[in-house]
Amino acid sequence: MAEKNGYIATSKFLIASPTKVRPVADVIRRKAYAEAMSILDNMPHKGAKLIKKTVKSAASNALSQNKKLDEDMLFVKEIRIDEGPRLKRLWCRGRGRADMLLKRMCHITVIIDEKAGE
């Protein structure tokens, strides 16, 4: 989806804790598209794989809507990791007791824009 601020892609309801995904997002914020993709390729985190898919989708949106753009002109303008709903599961414990297991979800929003005239 194109916006005056750039090209947007979102991934919602991903089962990953936002607190674990945010440090990965901080590494690629304000980086060139090619550099961000190479960083995400070499990171072992689960969040890196999720963010990579979203960044790739935003770049695809940019290139499909504006035929004059090139991958070298793109950079990650903004990346936001928001908290989603939590899945609540029962976790059986000793002596007939139970605990609540929370499976946290996150929403990833990536805005990619073209670099200013260079």
Question: The domain spanning residue 105 has which CATH number?
Answer: 3.90.470.10
pLDDT of residue 48: 97
Q: Does 118 have pLDDT greater than 70? A: no
Q: Does 84 have pLDDT greater than 80? A: yes
pLDDT in tens, 41-75: 999 999 999 999 999 999 999 999 887 888 899 99
Core vs surface per residue 79-111: b (16+ CB within 10 A) or e:
bebeebeeeeeeeeeeeeeeeeeeebbbbbbbb
How many structural domains is the chain composed of? Answer: 1
Q: Which domain holds residue 103?
A: 2-114
pLDDT band at 117 (very low <50, low <70, confident <90, very high): low
User: Using CA atoms, how far apart are residues 83 and 106, in angstroms rounded to an integer?
Assistant: 5
Residue with tokens 């935003």: 58
pLDDT of residue 2: 55
